[in-house]
Amino acid sequence: MKVFKFGGASVKDAGGIKNVYDVLQKVGHDDVLLVISAMGKTTNALEVVVKDYFDKSAGLQSSVQEVKKYHNQILMDLFEEENHAVFAAVNKIFTDMEQFLRQNKSPNYNFVYDQVVSYGEIISTTIVSHYFNYRGLKNQWIDVRELVKTDNTYRDAVVNWELTQKNISKNVKKKNLNITQGFLGSDENNFTTTLGREGSDYTAAIFAYCLNAESVTIWKDVPGVLNADPRYFDNAILLHQISYREAIELAFYGATVIHPKTLQPLQRKEIPLYVKSFLNPLLPGTCVSKGADLEPQTPCFIVKKNQLLVSLSSLDFSFIMEENISEIFALLHKYRMKVHLIQNSAISFSVCADDKFGNFHALKALLSKKFKVTYNENVSLYTIRHFNDKSAGTVTKNKEVLVRQVSRETMQIVTRDLQ
């Protein structure tokens, strides 16, 4: 079996869904499992719904209507008969979501987030499955929440591999075209969980691992894995082949083309990962596979925007030692700060981190009891793998360098724009 993952950009409108159908006609669809994300920017739109819900905003109904209107237009563009069963199916999903918003009693933001945002994937796969059947391409729609079981760490759930393996082996029919949702799972109480933003790639890897798949292909609007994000760098170069090790390094540092968790299960079973263009599906793209000789021969640039640079120094000029660092990291973990760079001296300790959950100011209040805390918001972290003398100047032009750190293969630079 092959596993294909199509992200939100590939199914953002009726034309995109028709193109996914065409891609399958060109590359084959027998014995394939499709993992599909929410359509376009639906996840963002549902995040607005969650925000309005907690703000008790009068705009809640309007934000729900925006999501409905967007999907209804796609339905109208795909299906000629307005009495087609898909309209009732999608309407039922929205009814379920609105009922949850009316009846929920939990004050837990992360719990509510997962219950609401998950409807994006449920709707998208419902529409795609109905459309494929409409075009004569028979398929099995699978509710991923019944198969991928996790703990209850909402918004960043941890997979129960043993139970998930059992469920997937039992319920996914080979030789068929199967369609399921990315990003989602459920906990022991069957409440929906999510695997972290962009977690659909990880879902594809979970299924591939459990099914001993032949390969995984991530279909994107780029020709493959590039040595730099073309949104921020000119003249990006396609990397035709890279090793699991290099891809894991790139993903760890923030390369957005592959989700960081995706590669580990694939590497364990040596399942190759392809990154290909859904606009040109017959091009070879990038292959990620086993091999120490597949290292890129050119610098690879990764940028993470909107980061937080936090520097701690001792109040009495005493050394910051192992026990202090241990305590700091325990707090960073507790407040769910994702750390991307660490630098320390005798009396100071700095981290560049992602405040994904908006916990920094609560963390700062605690840290300030023992340390002098200084910080810079909205900084950029550049990582250069296989750097050379020229590459650093590419990212520091017209910027103030706050931190520079160099190891054998990797250079990291924290910058902010000059005023």
CB 155 within 8 A of CB 206: no
Q: Which two tokens stand for residue 8?
A: 């939100």
Tell me whether residue 416 is annotated as binding: no
Partners of residue 387 on adjacent β-strands: none
Dihedrals phi, psi of 69, to nearest 5 degrees: -60, -40
**How far lies 208's CA from each of 50, 186, 263, in Å?**
32, 19, 11
188: helix, strand or coil: coil
CB 354, CB 382: distance < 8 Å: no
Q: Which amino acid is at 188?
A: E
Residue 118, both tokens: 């998950």
Which of 100, 95, 131 has its CA nearest to residue 11? 131
Helix (H, G, I), strand (E, B) or coil at 83: coil
Tokens describing residue 289 = 């596979």
Q: How far apart are CA 133 and CA 374, in angstroms?
A: 58
For residues 151 and 186, is the Cβ–Cβ distance under 8 A?
A: no
- Whole-angstrom Cα distance, residue 265 to residue 249? 15
Q: In whole angstroms, what is the distance from residue 392 CA to residue 267 CA?
A: 31
- Other C-beta atoms within 10 Å of 358: how many? 10
Structure tokens at 44: 């963002």
Q: DSSP labels for 200-256?
A: HHHHHHHHHHHHT-SEEEEEESSSS-BSS-TTT-SS--B--EEEHHHHHHHHHHT-T
Nearest to 361 by CA among 350, 377, 340: 377
CB-based contact 252:236 (threshold 8 Å): no
The verdict on whether residue 121 carries a ligand-binding annotation is yes
Q: Which helix (H) or strand (E) holds 305?
A: strand 300-314
Residue of 400, 397, 394, 384 whose CA lies nearest to 234: 394
Annotated binding site for ATP: 231
Annotated binding site for substrate: 121
